[in-house]
Amino acid sequence: MLLLLLLSIIGNTLYAQTSPAAASDALTSARTLFKQGKFHEAAAAYRAIVEKDKPSEIVYSGLVQSYLKADDVPAAEKASAEALKALPQSATAHAISGDVYFRKGLLTEAEGQYKTALEQNENSARAWLGMGKIYATVSRQDQAKEAFTKAHNLDPADGDAWYRWAVLLPYPQSVDELEKHLAEFRSTAEQEHREREFIDLIKGVGNREVWVESSSVKQAEIKLETVTPQPGIMLGFGLRARFNNSTNALLLLDTGSTWITIPRSLADKIGARKISDYGIEGVGDSGPAAGYFAWVDKITLGDVEFHDCLVHISAHNDLNGADGLIGANIFAKHLVTIDFPARKLRIGPLPEAAAPTSSKPLVHSFEARSVAQFFNFGHILLLPARVNHSATGLFVLDTGANQSSVTPEFGRMAGKLWETREHVAGSNGQVSKVAALEDAVLEFSPFSQRNDTLLAFDRRSLSRQLETEISGFIGFASLNRMKVSINYRDGLVSFEGSR
């Protein structure tokens, strides 16, 4: 009886534990699924390993990354919490916790986790990757490049570190590395399509500098004109642009856009030369709108003249009632002031750059003040904002959006949503489901508190694309009585005026 009992115990133990060879095969299988872009299957494979074997930071890292790639943020958050509980001294566990916070739009908490990871292991590749993302969002591009390079050198097999490092390489090395990355790390069809378009754009531009000012302009003032596609309907303010000394157009000033976007009809008229296909991301349920990038030799805005202009062309001839869109980032080398009450856009010299400090946090806590920190996600500027004195999130600063808005998830955190018959349309078509948060108080500066109705509709596509949670948009209606100054170099925006 004793012998049978011992054999039973030994047998059960052997059955419960996975052999080293089997564990290695299971990990290899999970990694393969991840690299094939089968993120849900990879997450299931990693979860099976966690439940069968002693937890390891490699497995937990794969599990959390798989959930994030599959855009299952709640599952990623749960797995990250498990990893920290099981491995509290693991730098990787803290780094992937930072990844989850970053995806949730909690950048202060993300920075804290990445720094904790580096305190525990200064050679944590995942922590350096995270710090690179933080540096990039707070407009410290040189430090971001150093951090991404360090992350890639420490772990060349990390696909995210590889991509971030490759993007910042000079041409043509960037194309070579990005094509290798795309061949080895598959993703969703949408993401792969976007990456191929980006590679084609780099090939089209090559070593050529874009948006070159014809002369050094220290100061300039450009008139803002109202954009009114129909009597009684005002979209916002626009700038009058002249293309190739021949054709004028009124472009809606849109801080949520990059460079200039014009319709195909105007592109054909001015002789714009196509470089590569590139879809237009925007509001609407129809997905990216068909478009392409093209060269325009010269564009004049007031007294400012640009050469070798990279312009986005929309296949649709109707851009929401405007002749086109223009992003303020064209003037990023200057201090950009949009004086809505005076109907002027001014550019001037940037203030002297402050010396960087290493001891203070890079991400500042939310505070509604006249000078605020914004977070740089390419051409999209995210600003911390609060609604109804309770819910805080990241909002896109977007003068091209007629009204301010929130996501349904954020709206439910701030109050009660009501059904509405309001129609919302953008470059990507109509929005099918729209709700309203009535009598809302939107805070993003000392002057912006006002009872208003905030429309609520889905923005998950943009959140997935930016890899951080977007809670809403600060639109023209919330800004049109203010003077807004944007310092792209330092990641600061200031507000003057009153509501």
142-159 pLDDT, tens digit per residue, is 999 999 999 999 999 999
Q: Which residue has the tokens 């009058």?
A: 240
Report the number of distinct structural domains present in the chain: 4
Within a domain: 137: no
Q: Is 117's pLDDT higher than 90?
A: yes
Rounded Cα–Cα distance for residues 280 and 263 (Å): 12
- Kindly indicate the confidence band of residue 367, based on its pLDDT and cuts at 50, 70 and 90: confident
Same domain, 224 and 342: yes
Distance of CA 236 to the CA centre of its chain: 24
Same domain, 306 and 404: no
Q: Are 494 and 485 in contact, with CB atoms under 8 Å apart?
A: yes
Summarize the confidence of residues 42-67 as an average pLDDT.
93
Average pLDDT taken over every residue of the chain: 88
- Residue 5's pLDDT is 35
Summarize the confidence of residues 209-232 as an average pLDDT.
88
Summarize the confidence of residues 10-18 as an average pLDDT.
37
Rounded Cα–Cα distance for residues 383 and 392 (Å): 10
Residue 92 belongs to what domain range? 19-122
Within a domain: 157: no
Q: Is 53's pLDDT higher than 90?
A: no
Which ranges of 297-451 does DSSP label H, i.e. alpha helix? 408-414
Within a domain: 70: yes
Ranges of beta strands (E only) in 71-224 are 212-213, 220-223
Ranges of beta strands (E only) in 165-290 are 212-213, 220-223, 225-227, 236-243, 247-253, 260-263, 273-277
Both tokens of residue 64? Answer: 């959390």
Q: State percent of the chain over pLDDT 70.
A: 88
Q: Is 10's pLDDT higher than 60?
A: no
Q: How far is CA 218 from CA 169, 215, 333, in A?
A: 31, 9, 10
Same domain, 332 and 232: yes
Same domain, 341 and 415: no
Within a domain: 375: yes
Within a domain: 2: no
Type of residue numbered 170? P
Summarize the confidence of residues 482-487 as an average pLDDT.
94
Q: How far is CA 126 from CA 132, 161, 184, 262, in A?
A: 10, 8, 19, 40
Summarize the confidence of residues 46-73 as an average pLDDT.
94
Q: State percent of the chain over pLDDT 90.
A: 68
Same domain, 336 and 402: no
Residue 97 belongs to domain with CATH number: 1.25.40.10
Within a domain: 356: no
Query: pTM of the predicted model, to two decimals?
Result: 0.90
Domain boundary among 122, 149, 182: 122
Domain boundary among 60, 87, 122: 122
Both tokens of residue 124? Answer: 């944590």
Same domain, 184 and 279: no
Q: Which of 106-110, 209-213, 444-448 has the lowest mean pLDDT?
A: 444-448
Domain boundary among 122, 149, 180: 122
Same domain, 189 and 259: no
- Kindly indicate the confidence band of residue 450, based on its pLDDT and cuts at 50, 70 and 90: low
Kindly report, residue by residue over 122-135, the tens digit of the pLDDT: 999 999 999 999 99
- Residue 84's pLDDT is 96
DSSP per residue, 449-465: --EEEEEE---HHHHHH
Within a domain: 245: yes
- C-alpha dihedral over 145, 146, 152, 153, to 10 degrees? 150
- Residue 7's pLDDT is 30
- Residue 348's pLDDT is 95
Residues 6+ apart with CB under 8 A from 398: 254, 255, 256, 473, 474, 475
- Kindly indicate the confidence band of residue 14, based on its pLDDT and cuts at 50, 70 and 90: very low
Within a domain: 7: no
Same domain, 219 and 296: yes
Summarize the confidence of residues 232-261 as an average pLDDT.
92
Helix (H) or strand (E) holding 130: helix 125-137
- Kindly indicate the confidence band of residue 421, based on its pLDDT and cuts at 50, 70 and 90: low
Same domain, 191 and 282: no
Q: Which of 231-235, 378-382, 462-466 has the lowest mean pLDDT?
A: 231-235
Same domain, 83 and 108: yes
Q: Is 368's pLDDT higher than 80?
A: no
Q: Is 72's pLDDT higher than 50?
A: yes
Same domain, 305 and 427: no
Kindly report, residue by residue over 257-305, the tens digit of the pLDDT: 889 999 999 999 999 999 998 876 544 444 556 789 999 999 999 999 9
Q: Which residue has the tokens 């990216």?
A: 288
Q: Is 316's pLDDT higher than 90?
A: no
- Residue 359's pLDDT is 72
Q: Which of 204-218, 312-326, 408-422, 456-470 has the lowest mean pLDDT?
A: 312-326
Summarize the confidence of residues 116-125 as an average pLDDT.
97
Same domain, 235 and 280: yes
Ranges of beta strands (E only) in 157-259 are 212-213, 220-223, 225-227, 236-243, 247-253
Residue 334 belongs to domain with CATH number: 2.40.70.10
